[in-house]
Amino acid sequence: MFAFATLVALASAALPQVFAHGGVLSYKIEGEIFQGWAPYNSPTGQTTIQRPWSSYNPITNPTDPTLACNDDGTSGALQLTTTTKAGDPITAYWNQVWPHAYGPMLTYLAQCPGSTCTGVNANTLKWFKIDEAGLLSGTVGDGYWGSGKMIDQNSSWTTTIPASVPSGNYLIRFETIALHSLPAQFYPECAQIQITGGGSLQPTTDELVSFPGAYSASDPGLTVDLYTNEAMTQTNYTIPGPPLYGSGTGSPAPPPASTTAVPTTVPVGPSSTSAPPTQSSAPVGTVAQYGQCGGQGYSGATACIAPYTCQALNAYYSQCL
Ligand SMILES: *[C@@H]1O[C@H](CO)[C@@H](O)[C@H](O)[C@H]1NC(C)=O
Ligand SMILES: *[C@@H]1O[C@H](CO)[C@@H](O)[C@H](O)[C@H]1NC(C)=O
Ligand SMILES: [Cu+2]
């Protein structure tokens, strides 16, 4: 009797948690499989490119402080990073079989300041959306959704890093949002990647968002009730979050401020302070490697083509290195 009762108690406690929900358990990057963080194991000794996350349960409040990476935003004690090339795909694998077929898929990047994302809290970063899939066909009430496609793809989702993304250190945030019940359920997990061979298209200011902050409980894409007559005829769905990266509105944002990569400020002339890129008359990222980008008496373009940064060699000469 005791054993049976214990079993029932265990099963009823564990089943909803383990089988009704979940998250990203592994990745495939440059052909290699990376096992993710195991939220129900001891954090001690866990070493993975994935940021720690705490629970298979969904986040149901878009202002929840854990919305960035399903945790407090910190990196693991033995945090790893892997390198990938801009233009290459990354696949995230959810637990099998992902149970929620109604809702969008979204993938975001956030560039970290400095030379690594390790130690950088995810809640301090600005994110831009590089991939999304909402209602793919049919109606809101019984159509085919991004998350249904994810299930059909072996409970995985593949996002190609845009070739135009500047090289650097990033968190990549895969997210599925489940709409089968309200409030909407958010399932985000993050991993640390270093992007190489990138381009020079900085996200624009209106493409950059914070988590929490990017979503609101009143967003049309988060308040849809699938079980209404209206939903059975409605074929439009507004994916939450900012416009997709590269969709072409707004002005380029400066890259995240860095404590290590910022060049020494050099006086350039009477009218000059340390001008941020947006105040430069030249477009962002035009100076090639080894080209001059600053120095006393210099008045040309100051922004280097990615991945180079403007470094002061002396008071008279700064170079893209
Ligand atoms: C399906 O996903 C699992 C990981 O969840 C992976 O181990 C397996 O290789 C995948 N199968 C195929 C055919 O890609
Ligand atoms: C669909 O379109 C209607 C009418 O424009 C709008 O009121 C509604 O919010 C839209 N639904 C979604 C989920 O975006
Ligand atoms: Cu669930």
What are 87-132's pLDDT values in tens digits? Answer: 999 999 999 999 999 999 999 999 999 999 999 999 999 999 999 9
**Tokens 């986040």 label which residue?**
59
Q: How many CB atoms lie within 10 A of CB 171?
A: 24
Say if residue 143's pLDDT is above 90.
Answer: yes
In angstroms, the CA 40 to CA 47 distance is 14
The pLDDT confidence band at residue 4, using thresholds 50, 70 and 90, is: very low
Name which residue sits closest to atom 9 of ligand 2, judged by CA. 220
DSSP state for residue 128 in the 8-state scheme: E
Ligand nearest to the CA of 19: 3
CATH code of 23-276, in short, is: 2.70.50.70
Q: Which of 117, 127, 70 is nearest to 94 (CA)?
A: 70
Pocket test for ligand 1, best of 33, 152, 154, 158 (most atoms within 8 A of CB): 154
Ligand 1: which atom is nearest the Cα of residue 154?
A: 1
The pLDDT confidence band at residue 320, using thresholds 50, 70 and 90, is: confident
DSSP state for residue 271 in the 8-state scheme: T
Environment class of residue 281 by beta-carbon count within 10 Å: exposed (0-12), middle (13-18) or buried (19+)? exposed
Q: In one letter, which amino acid is 266?
A: V
Q: Where are the alpha helices (DSSP H) in the chain?
A: 2-19, 146-152
**Tokens 């406690």 label which residue?**
13
Mean pLDDT of 227-245: 97
Q: CB within 5 A of ion ligand 3: which residues?
A: 20-21
In angstroms, the CA 256 to CA 20 distance is 38
DSSP state for residue 283 in the 8-state scheme: P
Domain boundaries, the chain: 23-276, 281-321
The string of pLDDT tens digits covering residues 153-209 is 999 999 999 999 999 999 999 999 999 999 999 999 999 999 999 999 999 999 999
Ligand 1: which atom is nearest the Cα of residue 25?
A: 5
